[in-house]
Amino acid sequence: MSVERSSFSSEEQGRQTQAAVSPSPDLAAQLSAGINANYLVEPPVRRASVPPLPPERALSLAWLYSALLGNGRLLVCLDESATPVQCFYPHIDGGPHVRSLLQGVQVEREGQAPQVSWLAEEGWSHELRYLPASAVVVVRSVQPSLGLVLERRLAVHPERDLLVIELRLANQSQATLRCSLVTYAAIDIDLRPAGNCAWYDPETELLTFFHADRYLALGSDWSVADFACEQSRPGVVDLAFQMAAEQRYSRQEFAVGQVAAALRHHLGELPSGASRSGALLLSFGPTLEAVRTTLIQQRDHSSQLLEETLADWQQRCARFILSGASDEISRLYERSLMVLRLLSDRETGAILAAPEMDPTFRSSGGYGMCWLRDGAYNAYALDVAGEHERARAFFDWALRVQEASGCWYQRYDTQGNLAPTWGLIQFDEIGIFVWALGQHVGLTGDVEYTRSVWPALKRAGSYMLRELDPETGLAPITKDLWEEFDGISTYACATTWAGFATLARLATLLGAEAEAQQWQEAAARLKQAIEQHLWSESAGHFLRGGRLKVAPLEDDERTALAADEVAITIRGRRWRARLSDPTLDISILGLAVPCGVFDPADPRLQATARAIAERLRSPVGGILRYQGDSYRGGNPWILCTLWLAWYEALTGNLAEAEQLYRWAVEHRTPLDLLAEQVSRQDGQPCWIMPLGWSHAMFVLVTQVLRARGRLQVRAPGEA
């Protein structure tokens, strides 16, 4: 234990990026409301609940994360109080494991009873920062009524599966205080409500949770004064939490089933103006011996572990520098590439769409999985930024999980297992993956790699070719890009064309001229079908698609089909469908960017883009996905706004491109994370934070603007 540890020096604080003062949701109301039957409108959680929610309730709400830490095996998500509200291990989608993890300070003044002040309670304010060029979070937490200031540094070590939390508690009151750090942990390994064990070992002062081959151990360089391991009970606040809150501990060493535990680390007496420093380490591993050995060896070396982590990230980020860019653009670009790395699994190469924030699927279909669609854009962004090794790891993963038919299913976990689905084969994913891998080859010039992956790419191309709609020659009936509607999708047609064109180019690269001719002809036929069926002279823009499934059509249905309707069959069931879908959708621009079916300057694309810009613009700025979008209330999306910016930049409309780009920049979070959406009500980032695809689009549009000499984006009103 030391006083005024040097890791919190004023020099280092001067290098920190901007601060974020956390908002304060009404936790009491959240607890008393119970489970809301309408999960689509239930607000996501921003801060850990005090007292903790009952076990059956704890994981029923979607989370809004404030920061990510990780090393490709261990992914830790922090809330706005810098509490680790979720941990994933041994893959970045493994688990989750945390039901509740709270920290607080127990304070005793002379002549007064002790009280525990939890960091997630309303009385605390928190300022979070990332240290520059790193995934090391610094937070300053203040409790004015107690006169306490708690400074923390949090990081996941790049090589050891360790979450390191370095702390310094300062007494700014006029009285002498006796203080302890209190930790409450409720761990459900792999989300299991049973079969867990909590064990506190008095000899080593280590607290360990485990189930099967998942072990999580907590240790500190502060001494343990009290402990309790208890079983959790349905419908009630955990006994372990009650003990900690009331300063009474059972000193029970074991608990089994659904479990929780509490520890009190003694800090000692703090005179006015004094401080104490220490650290907590959480070790993750496959065996009991592994996690215990790591903690015993490392718990006195927190500063060294943090410096190693900082140095590792800064070395990686040295490759992400943008010359001539403003500080905020450079920082967001750097953070975007770091997010894409944090969402990349170190062992398999898979890239998550986002850290899972809704593991029980109460508010969504889940995000912590691997889509070929998102992954293709994410990998392309990594490639454009020069991170070819990381991009190739994704391509290799995807080729390993390719189905024998040549297709891919909707989404997978990081180990290649089929994930829960509501649309098994989504046709657009196949073509966009082939296109992205072709871009990788073009950027790396690696002919031998092309040769090695060519058989798998041909299988994908053959699958797309034989599945085309026999009547129109377009892509078959499939889920749209947003996975909401069934029909012939213009975007799927665009990605399929891009897949054929890529195969033609790669065949030429390999000297297979006959095959190149085959794919060129396939692309030409598809382009002709797109022009014939998906351009609408009457609407004045390209259609979103056709044969849009509307309602079931029973065998004895006698109601005549309308003039604009047709009967279709999907998986053996007959449906009433609209022949054409004139809905404006940002994904129609896929015909130009990134797929390149038509030149962006094509008058038909320009008319489509003008209509999108006019009719999909939200009152708070930004671009909606499509007309009538109601998901999460119908908000503008960061990636949609950047998609239109990408198109405008390619057509030379740089002023409009910069305006859209600036909107995305201005709606980042204070820690430079990009959400999926921005609230139509208050203009704040909302729903999924961070979304990998949002960051990928920012990287891509940044590079497009850079190539046109417009990277230095001006704020509105500047000359």
* pTM of the model as a whole: 0.92
- Residue 712's pLDDT band (boundaries 50, 70, 90)? low
Q: Is 285 strand, coil or helix?
A: strand
Find the angle CA(46)-CA(91)-CA(165) to the nearest 5 degrees: 55
Q: Is the pLDDT of residue 55 over 50?
A: yes
Residue 26: predicted pLDDT: 36
Query: Which residues have CB under 8 Å from 122's CB, separation 6+?
Result: 24, 27
pLDDT band at 235 (very low <50, low <70, confident <90, very high): confident
450 contacts: CB under 8 Å, gap ≥ 6: 441, 506, 509, 510
At 324 the pLDDT is 82
pLDDT of residue 555: 67
How much is the average pLDDT of 690-694?
A: 98
Which pLDDT score is estimated for 396?
A: 98
Mean pLDDT of 338-356: 98
Phi, psi angles (nearest 5°) of residue 26: -85, 95
Please provide residue 647's backbone torsions phi and psi, each rounded to the nearest 5 degrees. -60, -45
Closest listed residue to residue 621, CA positions, set 590, 658, 660? 660
Q: Please report which confidence band the pLDDT of residue 713 belongs to, taking 50, 70 and 90 as the band edges.
A: very low
Q: Which long-range contacts (CB under 8 A, 24 or more apart) does 287-290 make?
A: 287/213, 287/215, 288/208, 288/210, 288/215, 290/215
Q: What residue ranges of the chain are covered by domains with CATH 2.70.98.10? A: 6-316
As a whole number, mean pLDDT of residues 158-174 equals 97
- Interacting residues of 601 by C-beta distance below 8 A, sequence separation 6+: 651
- Give the CA radius of gyration of the chain: 27
Beta bridge partners of 184: 102, 262
Residue 15 has pLDDT above 60, yes or no: no
CA distance 425 to 661: 33
235 or 207, which is more confident? 207
Range 323-425+616-719: architecture per CATH: Alpha/alpha barrel (1.50)
Is 276 strand, coil or helix?
strand
Confidence band (pLDDT; 50, 70, 90) for 586? very high
Rounded CA gap, 636 and 626, in Å? 10
Quick one: what percent of the chain has pLDDT higher than 90? 85
Other Cβ atoms less than 10 A from the Cβ of 112: the count is 9
Top CATH class of 426-587 equals mainly alpha
pLDDT, mean of residues 695-701: 98
Instruction: Kindly report the average pLDDT of the chain as a whole number.
Output: 91
Residue 12 has pLDDT above 80, yes or no: no
What six digits make up the tokens of 296? 């015993």
Helix axes 490-509, 513-534, angle to 10 degrees: 160
Mean pLDDT of 420-430: 97
Q: What is the mean pLDDT of residues 36-43?
A: 42
Span 370-397, average pLDDT: 98
The band of 154, judged by pLDDT with boundaries at 50, 70 and 90, is very high
pLDDT of 59 reads: 77
Q: Given a cut of 80, is residue 112 above it in pLDDT?
A: yes
Sign (positive or negative) of CA dihedral 412, 413, 419, 421: negative
323-332: long-range pairs with CB below 8 Å, 24+: 324/711, 324/712, 325/702, 325/706, 325/711, 325/712, 326/712, 326/713, 328/665, 329/665, 329/702, 329/711, 329/712, 329/713, 331/17, 331/132, 331/672, 332/665, 332/668, 332/672, 332/674, 332/698
Q: For 477-497, what is the mean pLDDT?
A: 97
- For residue 157, the model assigns a pLDDT of 98
Q: How many CA atoms lie within 13 A of 153 on its CB side?
A: 26
Residue extent(s) of CATH 1.50.10.10 domains in the chain: 323-425+616-719, 426-587
If you classify domain 6-316 with CATH, what class do you get? mainly beta
Mean pLDDT of 318-325: 88
DSSP 8-state class, residue 229? E
Query: How far is the C-alpha of 625 from the C-alpha of 482, rounded, in Å?
Result: 8
User: Would you state the pLDDT for residue 530?
Assistant: 98
